[in-house]
Amino acid sequence: MTLAALEQFTQRAQQIYGDEQDCAAIAREVLNLCQRFAGTTSRSVLDEATPVSHKRWSEKDVILITYGNSIQTADEMPLKTLSDFLKDRLADVINSVHILPFFPYSSDDGFSVIDYKQVHPDWGDWGDVASIAQNFDLMIDLVINHCSRENLWFIDYIGNREPYIDYFIEVDPETDVSLVTRPRNTPLLTPVYTHHGIKHVWATFSEDQIDLNFANPAVLFEFIKIYLFYIEQGARFIRLDAVAFLWKQLGTTCLHLSQTHAAVKLLRDVVNFVAPEVVVITETNVPVKENLSYFGESDEAHMVYQFGLPPLVLHALNRGNASFLTDWADAIPPLPEGCTYLNFTASHDGIGVRPVEGLLPEREVQDLIDSMHRFGGFVSMKANSDGTESPYEINITLFDACMGTRRGPDHYQVQRFLCSQAIMLAMQGVPAVYIHSLTASPNDIEHVEQTGRTRSINRRIWDEQELEHLLSNPVTPQAEVFTELTRMLRIRRDQPAFHPDARQDVIKINTDLFILKRTSEDGEQRLFALSNVTERILKLPLATLGFLENGLSDLLAHEPSIIEDELVLFPYQTVWLSNT
């Protein structure tokens, strides 16, 4: 096993560094780090009689996405408040929690990491994280592309201290960097004052987020140590943040380079060796084909974000037309062995529009953006190589994004929003629900004014007492959404046809409906998920729906019901029709 791992690590090092580095020495150091981890960890070993892939995920898996301080109360650390909320409200609804970066940070709500191994002192400590991990599986971010300019590595770089002088990427400001793909419209190079004068360093995302130099193997070793540390803290999922930008090579887009893919494969190799139950997830907010490339040949990410889903679901509901969503879903290629999708409709970031390049006509994208402006949202721009700018993401809460159609607001906001969640929950993969979807959070314009960042619109910090009051009052949108969405999640977790590996078929009959058929791995359960994406009542005689079987029951009905002669779908209603 050790010899095979060493050979694998050597192969990956060669794919990353070629002849520029001593790849055999790099592989030995990676193996050494893994062996040290294996010698100190108390993690249990899997039962080798059962294939790991069957233990990685099931229909029981539901992930909640949240910041460590999304809910606060006086005189209590936010991570403790979060832990209590999860146990009191969601113990039978979710089984996993993605706590967005909970480390000391200087900007971007956690993604400018000052110290990768410490918990933000205003939020709690590792004991509070462990308390959550006792009841829920953890997803932890490895913010791998960049660190804060307040990180000690960067401070030592400014001081010209070894070994940190090669941890960052200096570029002559006269260099042509126009080919580099930018997710922002800020300058790529940012000037910094060092003990050797002014240097210009690579900063893909902001002047406070300085990119790390993975051409230096010492940086790779640093992140493998952090990676193993998170696994030791109980992480079941490791999310590789902004990993697509990892490797830099002037004269290219610096996006999805072969060295980046090889580095992700190496991280996969590491968990294969030390913790094969851990799931590696890549976060790559890019067009669909590029996103799917991170599956590799079943040797890279176990899971990729389904980035096309949020904008296409929102478009379908805003337009009252499921055709683009249906065509996209129908064209999704079969999943590679041991891989699946992470499905979501909202997250801490905005709703990306890059993933629908080539899927939605530009006019449709612009119409959607115009609607979101009317509903109180913003749009973030990215810089193009020709000096122009184009939309990168829409910044709005999903709940307020559903307040109407392109004709304007209406009274179907709750129903339309719940339809978006039901569609996501039926898709093949593991569902992830953002806490502000669960709580039907409205746009937080005050937060935007406080921070000056449009993404803050979807990063509300709830006062616990206010939130509990809203959830306890059945006439509030928050209570209505929370009650119905948690009910859907409980029902979903009991359906074998929703196992991530269960077959998915897309059925096309008209543009009013989005229809999926899911079939359990043993073939016993067949489940049809039909969503009305319009504001009209649809009456569908079963005789015209030849794909449906007799005797199907609607799992989402509040009272047991068997569909007989006609299926009636009210505006934005979803039914899950099952033969069992």
Backbone φ, ψ for residue 361 (5° rounding): -60, 150
Q: Contacts for 170-173 with beta carbons within 8 Å, 24 or more apart?
A: 170/199, 170/200, 170/201, 171/200, 171/201, 171/202, 171/250, 172/200, 173/200
| Three-state SS sequence of 31-89 | HHHHHHHHHHCCCCCCCCCCCCHHHHCCCCCCEEEECCCCEECCCCCHHHHHHHHHHHH
Q: Which strand (E) or helix (H) includes residue 554?
A: strand 553-554
E strand spans, 415-519: 430-434, 462-463, 503-507, 513-519
Question: Which sign, positive or negative, has the C-alpha torsion 73, 76, 77, 79?
Answer: negative
Report how far apart, in Å, the C-alpha atoms of 225 and of each of 117, 143, 416 are. 10, 13, 45
Query: How many whole angstroms separate alpha carbon 568 and alpha carbon 537?
Result: 7
Which residues sit opposite 137 in a β-bridge?
96
Q: Which amino acid is at 548?
A: L
- 299 part of the active site: no
Which residues sit opposite 277 in a β-bridge?
none
Q: Check: CB of residue 9 under 8 Å from CB of residue 27.
A: yes
Query: How many whole angstroms separate alpha carbon 558 and alpha carbon 573?
Result: 13
Which residues sit opposite 503 in a β-bridge?
519
Cβ partners under 8 Å of residue 370, min gap 6:
406
Query: How many whole angstroms separate alpha carbon 182 and alpha carbon 560?
Result: 52
Catalytic, out of 241, 269, 444, 501 = 241
Q: Check: CB of residue 407 under 8 Å from CB of residue 284.
A: no
Q: How many CB atoms are closer than 10 A to CB 570?
A: 12
Report how far apart, in Å, the C-alpha atoms of 243 and of each of 103, 144, 431, 538 are. 19, 7, 21, 44
Query: How many whole angstroms separate alpha carbon 430 and alpha carbon 565?
Result: 34
Query: How many whole angstroms separate alpha carbon 441 and alpha carbon 50?
Result: 42
Q: Which two tokens stand for residue 35?
A: 């062996």
Q: Which two tokens stand for residue 165?
A: 């002088």
Order of strands, edge to edge, in the sheet holding 553-554?
503-507, 513-519, 526-532, 574-578, 553-554
Residues marked as catalytic: 241
